[in-house]
Amino acid sequence: MFTATTIAILLTMSLAIARMCIGPTIYDRVLAVNMFGTKTVLLIAVLGYLIGRPDFLDIALVYALINFIGTIAVLKFLRYGGFGDTHEMDTQDVDDKSNLSDGGPQ
Amino acid sequence: MIHAASLALALAAVWLLLSGHTDFLLLGLGAASVFGVVLIALRMDVVDHEGQPVHMGLRLIAYYPWLGWEIIKANWDVARQIIDPKLPISPTLTSIKSTQRTELGQVMFANSITLTPGTVSVRVLPGEILVHALSKNGADDLVTGRMDRRVSAIEGPEPDSDIGKEPG
Amino acid sequence: MTEAVNTLLLLFMCVTALTIVRQHNLFAVVMLGSVFSLLSAGMFVLLDAVDVAFTEAAVGAGISTILMLGVLSLTNSRERITFSTPIFPIVLVMLAGSVLIFSALGMPEFGAADAPIHGHVADRYIEKSGAEVGLPNIVTSILASYRGFDTLGEVTVIFTAGIGVMVLLGLRRRTAQDGSVEELPLPGEGNMRHHSVLRVTAKLLIPFIMLFALYVQFHGDFGPGGGFQAGVIFAAAFILYGLVFGIKNAVAVVPEGVTRFLIAAGVLLYAGVGVASLLMGGNYLDYSVLAHEPTHGQHLGILLIEFGVGTTVAAVMITLFFSFARRTRKKT
Amino acid sequence: MEVANSIIVWASLLTGSLFAVIGGIGVLRLPDVYTRLHGAGITDTMGAGLILFGLAVHEGFTLITVKLVLIFIFLIITSPASSNAVANAAHSSGLRPMLDSDLKNKASSNSGARS
């Protein structure tokens, strides 16, 4: 039954890869990569059982967390063109009314 | 202070569960790690009612099974729509009113919306959340405010609102 | 079954690689690169190379993607398309490829017991490391004890990389410091703090990420993990903080002087353990003399040097990220 | 007991796999990035949840189960945050979601072109 699950996860991963390759927008790709990452978490967890070494779960845990941070980094980059940056900032952002008064640590 | 204590407790529990070693050395290292992490977290200013929602207490625990059931129902619904050859979707963008008094409550509401397949919160604004729904039914279900009231209820009797204020 | 999964993963890797070649948007290339990394880590898991998979997960898929994005923010995110016919490169690649394939024919069968690599020290590591070093994870014994010199070299490489990036990207800072532009609160700095969903999620997660990093750090003796992975995960927590709360706040949490100090301190701790073992009458980096019983000494030495590795790696990664993030701000 | 246990494991692993694949199909089939998020949401909630649950039941009460639970909690916390971040970024970049009316128009113009 782990075999069946592995196959299903691999199938889902291939669907995500397909979405990533065709795009069309960059957000589709981000979405696909993010989904691919969570499927990798599952794949590693299941593979651990398939080959009888469930201590792989630490790796799955690392993936889960790295995947999240990577997605956030990608989106921040997309929006601001850099990580601590201001250029290319969109002006129509409604929930950023107070950003002019922002700055410095509390 | 209560937030720091709850963080330390949670961290210690996670360490013990991850580690599973109970010899003196690793317990000592664990204690040192928890202490160090709490110190850095305090310096980062991430230890507050938002990171450690202790004031919600048991109400939080009661909420999640309900949410889980909602998620299962919604999953079923969306899965049926996806595998239907006709793809009977009717995507809508709706503004949903949120009655939570704190930003934390609003975030929980927004995340509950996103976790339920068929609805994704796009933008969180003061007092409302812009939601993209896969079908009209999903959007209508949110408009009734069922979930909104549930989340508002777990916020508890906290008088001060921080919606629209400078986040800390 | 594992062969089938392996083949599928290889197939995915080929598809990803081909898409990377055909893609002109460098941003998409970076993301596809991270997928490639995830796939290769999956292969390492199947090959039972837990520690390698762990490193690939933490470094290949996570940090290098973020650093590549940092590089992209300094350049153009579209590849310059040249219209010359690439005959010479194609011939060169074909030649190199056929040489590689030809030499691969001479390699031993996959998993063959009489492969040269198994003929030297591997047996000794497997049979004796339990008695000599006393750690359940043989990989850690090899990395930290038998090949302590090698690992010291690796840490020095990371140290040098950190210094290199500081020199290349950090120089402009000093000249801008007396200018008033630096002090102005730039609009949009730390903008994601207003993104309440991300802010709350980050607040919730960051302490646990750091704790997990320390768990990986101190349990390298028993399972996969160790200083390199732990350092990267710890840095990832800071990078998340910097992304959501702004670089300025992140620098305020760990001042630059401290990270700079820690970059050197980790290497010094590692080398210092070696000196200590010299002074106590052993060879350089021979931890057996550090305590009364050899295995205790080994344990203590490995714990200390792994901590040194973790410190340096974390500090270098944080410095790299901050250098890139800062540099982009200067450009405006 | 043993039998009941393995039935639960089987059922949840297979249902989880099924939901994961359906979500994947959704990501490929749905018309724009906002709707695709719903497909990805399925794989992250039902797919991941049931598969991890199945593995946990298979394992019983050990420290490994704890790690599975931690992975699940982690996914449940991060998945909505990243979905929301993707949607938010797409929306603030000015990408308009394809709404019901657009789909109907497109369908009618397509059929019109074909006939």
Tell me, yes or no, whether B30 and B74 share the same domain.
no
A95 touches chain B (CB under 8 A): yes
Select the residue from D76, D84, D88, D105 to test the B interface by mutation, using most B Cβ atoms within 10 A: D84
The low-confidence residues of chain D, meaning pLDDT below 70, are 1, 103-104, 106-115
Residue with tokens 């625990």: B61
Query: Among candidates B54, B47, B103, D75, which has minimal Cα distance to C197?
Result: B103
In a domain, B80, yes or no: yes
Q: Which of A95, A98, A101 is nearest residue B123 as measured by Cβ atoms?
A: A95
Q: Are D26 and A9 in contact (CB under 8 A)?
A: no
Q: Do B120 and D29 lie within an 8 Å CB cutoff?
A: no
Q: Are B101 and B94 in contact (CB under 8 A)?
A: no
- Rg, Å, chain A Cα set: 19
Tell me, yes or no, whether B35 and B82 share the same domain.
no
D57 touches chain A (CB under 8 A): no
> Which range marks the domain in which residue D84 is found?
2-114
Tell me, yes or no, whether B79 and B137 share the same domain.
yes
Q: Are C301 and C255 in contact (CB under 8 A)?
A: no
Q: Do A28 and D36 lie within an 8 Å CB cutoff?
A: yes
CATH label of the domain that carries residue D31: 1.10.287
Q: Are D15 and D50 in contact (CB under 8 A)?
A: yes
A101 touches chain B (CB under 8 A): yes
B160 CA: distance to closest CA in chain D (Å): 25
In a domain, B168, yes or no: no
Enumerate the residues of chain C whose CB falls inside 8 A of the CB of residue D77: 201, 204-205
pLDDT tens digits, A8-31: 998 998 898 888 888 788 888 888
A27 CA: distance to closest CA in chain B (Å): 13
In a domain, B165, yes or no: no
DSSP secondary structure, C99-164, as one string: HHHHHHHTSPPTT-TT-GGGSSSHHHHHHHHHHHT--S-HHHIIIIIITHHHHHHHHHHHHHHHHH
Q: Is the per-residue pLDDT at A85 higher than 60?
A: no
Percent helix, strand and coil across chain C, each to the nearest 5: 80, 0, 20
In a domain, B162, yes or no: no
In a domain, B113, yes or no: yes
Enumerate the residues of chain B whose CB falls inside 8 A of the CB of residue C203: 46, 48, 50-51
Mean pLDDT of B46-56: 76
In a domain, B84, yes or no: yes
Both tokens of residue C42?
A: 């999956």
Is the ipTM reported for this complex over the cut 0.90?
Answer: no
Tell me, yes or no, whether B138 and B60 share the same domain.
yes
Q: Is the per-residue pLDDT at B60 higher than 50?
A: yes
More confident residue, B34 or C175: B34
Both tokens of residue B136?
A: 């009209």
Enumerate the residues of chain B whose CB falls inside 8 A of the CB of residue C295: none
Tell me, yes or no, whether B58 and B31 share the same domain.
no
Tell me, yes or no, whether B93 and B116 share the same domain.
yes
| Distance between CA atoms of residues A43 and A5, nearest Å | 9
Select the residue from B21, B25, B46 to test the C interface by mutation, using most C Cβ atoms within 10 A: B46
Query: Among candidates D96, C8, C174, C195, which has minimal Cα distance to A39?
Result: C8
Q: Which of C198, C204, C205 is nearest residue D85 as measured by Cβ atoms?
A: C198
Domain ranges of chain A: 2-86
Q: Are C33 and C26 in contact (CB under 8 A)?
A: no
Q: Dihedrals φ, ψ of D14, to 5°?
A: -70, -45
Query: Among candidates C71, B74, D96, which has minimal Cα distance to A25?
Result: D96
- The number of folded domains in chain D is 1
> Which range marks the domain in which residue B27 is found?
2-44
Residue with tokens 């909690």: D73
Q: Are B30 and B19 in contact (CB under 8 A)?
A: yes
Q: Do B123 and A106 lie within an 8 Å CB cutoff?
A: no
Question: For chain C, what's the residue count?
Answer: 332
- Rg, Å, chain D Cα set: 19
| Distance between CA atoms of residues D64 and B17, nearest Å | 9
Query: Among candidates B12, B137, B143, B163, which has minimal Cα distance to B77?
Result: B137
Q: Which of C199, C218, C253 is nearest residue B167 as measured by Cβ atoms?
A: C199
| Distance between CA atoms of residues C90 and C83, nearest Å | 14
In a domain, B161, yes or no: no
- The number of folded domains in chain B is 2
Tell me, yes or no, whether B67 and B107 share the same domain.
yes
**Beta-bridge mates of residue B97:** B128
Tell me, yes or no, whether B79 and B9 share the same domain.
no
Q: Which of B75, B110, B134 is nearest residue D19 as measured by Cβ atoms?
A: B75
- Rg, Å, chain C Cα set: 23
Neighbours of C233 (CB within 10 A): 33
Q: Which of D46, D81, D100 is nearest residue B75 as measured by Cβ atoms?
A: D46
* Chain A: touching chains (3 or more CB pairs < 8 Å): B, C, D
DSSP secondary structure, C13-82, as one string: HHHHHHHHHH--BHHHHHHHHHHHHHHHHHHHHHTT-HHHHHHIIIIIIIIHHHHHHHHHTTS-SBPPP-
Distance of CA D98 to the CA centre of its chain: 20
Angle between helix B57-83 and helix B136-143 axes, rounded to 10 deg? 160
Tell me, yes or no, whether B29 and B74 share the same domain.
no
| Run of H or E residues at B132 | strand B128-133
Tell me, yes or no, whether B32 and B59 share the same domain.
no
D26 CA: distance to closest CA in chain C (Å): 20
Listed by number, the residues of chain A in 28-67 with a beta carbon closer than 8 Å to a beta carbon of chain D are 28, 30-32, 34-35, 38-39, 41-42, 45-46, 49, 54-55, 57-58, 60-61, 64-65, 67
| Distance between CA atoms of residues C328 and C74, nearest Å | 6
Q: Which of C195, C204, C205 is nearest residue D88 as measured by Cβ atoms?
A: C195
In a domain, B160, yes or no: no
Q: Are B102 and B163 in contact (CB under 8 A)?
A: yes
Query: For residue B97, what pLDDT is reported?
Result: 85
Query: For residue D17, what pLDDT is reported?
Result: 92
Q: Which residues contact C296 (CB under 8 A, 6 or more apart)?
A: C290
| Run of H or E residues at D93 | none
Neighbours of C105 (CB within 10 A): 6
Per-residue confidence of chain C (332 residues) as pLDDT tens digits?
778 888 888 898 998 898 888 877 788 888 888 888 888 888 888 888 888 888 888 888 778 888 888 888 777 666 666 666 778 888 999 999 999 999 988 888 777 777 777 777 777 777 777 777 777 778 888 887 888 888 899 999 999 998 988 888 765 554 444 443 333 334 444 455 667 888 888 888 899 999 999 998 888 877 777 888 899 999 999 888 888 888 878 888 888 888 889 999 999 999 998 888 888 888 888 888 888 888 888 888 888 889 999 999 999 999 888 888 776 544 43
| Distance between CA atoms of residues B77 and B89, nearest Å | 11
Tell me, yes or no, whether B65 and B144 share the same domain.
yes
Select the residue from C26, C27, C35 to test the A interface by mutation, using most A Cβ atoms within 10 A: C35
Tell me, yes or no, whether B28 and B106 share the same domain.
no
